[in-house]
Amino acid sequence: AEYMGILDSLSTLLIMDLKEEFNTSLNWIRNELNFDINAEVSAFECTIRGIGGLISAYELSGEKHEILIDKAKELANRLLFAYNTTTGIPESLINLHTLIHKNPPWTGRASVLSEIGTVQLEMAALSHHTKNQIYTKKAEKAMQVVRDAPIPDGFPLGLYPTYMNPTQGQWTSYHATLGALGDSFYEYLLKSWIYGGKKSKSYLNMFLESSKAITQNLVMRTDDGQTLFIGEMKRGVVIPRMDHLACFAAGMYGLASEEITEGPITQWKTLASELTETCFQMYTKSRTGIAPESVNFPPGGTMLAGTPYYLLRPETVEAFFYQWRFTKQQKYRDYGWKVFRAINKYCRVTSGGYAGIKHVNSFPAKQDDLMQSFWLAETLKYLYMLFSSDEILDLKKWVLNTEAHPLKIRTS
């Protein structure tokens, strides 16, 4: 946790021009960072936060601190052992010292869709900088298994189940979601295409197919027709529930409408706009002005808190950022300011830092004594960029990984 907090904050420090803090972190990386630790970690989280953070910092700082690539390579070489399965599908957990890897019992020992398909940007970037294709080959082999695996009978084409057996390369669930377990898999179909200079027809076609399936099967409205949201499907039944995590889709559709010329651009713009409004309502409809982890949409057109805690999540302010960039409507900055003020009021710790709260509708709000590293990597960065000029990050030259670490788009 200590390591990831530092690595996950590097790109934010650079974007905010906090040179002293970045140099302090750089010295710690150079002199103290050691990945040979007897600890079991998430290979996926270490990839998007650790490898992604290190490579992004290297690129944002002018590609002059080679130690950042050396450490990214050191971490990746350990994580690659998680891909040593019969299919090449990575397992979730790995001990960084023993290199023993496994999947947890709660997944039925299956690998998770979002973890399989949310490493391609980071591994491709590392292969670019090290001139070693092993990293991107491992990530792309896993994605090829996903492409080739037969979808369960009755499952909509373009949606993917949340669990896969890493030994057999077969799906083991009938659950499709843009929330936890699925989310960033769909995000990376679009972003992998953008990162690679828009050359991969495979990623583009997968995104177009998935976007159509999401619209036809998961996009819903409340009974009164006023609120659009993305539900989730279990065994063919769509459940009117939406995770805060799924708010990333607003930014995804906004980005798609800007970058893809042959898609349903008007539809994507509408989805981006309406989903952003829904995600803002997740905040405004709670007593604290802070969104819960999930919301339910029961009959009657209402929105009710489902899982009531808040973990400092970034997806809604991410949506504000993209909508501001693409529309320049002042309301998105206003939304961001209102959300930030609520977070600052209830999540700020007097002794320093921020913490999540246990129930967004309870007073006094009780904090959970945990500052997630994505608060530094994503939430604060998106808020900062929301109120900054576009020159701070050119979205035609950079693509943000799922942890909001900017990576240079490869045009050749």
- Residue ranges with strand state E in 352-412: 398-400, 406-408
Helix (H, G, I), strand (E, B) or coil at 245: helix
Query: What are the structure tokens assigned to 88, written together?
Result: 């090449």
Spatial CA neighbour of 127 closest among 141, 137, 140, 116:
137
Q: Which of 248, 341, 244 is nearest to 289 (CA)?
A: 341
* Residues making up the chain, counted from first to last: 412
End-to-end CA distance of the chain: 36
Q: Which contacts (CB < 8 Å, 24+ apart) does range 101-110 have?
A: 101/43, 103/166, 107/163, 108/163, 108/172, 109/165, 110/163, 110/164, 110/165, 110/166, 110/172, 110/173
Residue carrying the six token digits 């981006």? 272
Query: Residue 110: which of 157, 168, 159, 48 has the closest Cα?
Result: 168
Name the DSSP letter for residue 107: G
Among this protein's residues, is 293 annotated catalytic?
yes
CA distance 104 to 339: 35
Phi, psi dihedral angles at 346 (to 5 degrees) = -105, -20
Alpha-carbon gap, residue 87 to 164, rounded angstroms: 11
| Secondary-structure percent of the chain, ordered helix, strand, coil, rounded to 5 | 50, 10, 40
Using alpha carbons only, give the angle 210, 211, 213 rounded to the nearest 5 degrees: 60
Looking from the CA of 1 toward its CB, the CA atoms found within 13 Å total: 3
Beta-bridge partners for 310:
357
Please list the residues that pair with 171 across neighbouring strands. 164
The one catalytic residue in 59, 91, 140, 293 is 293
- Which residues have a catalytic role annotated? 293
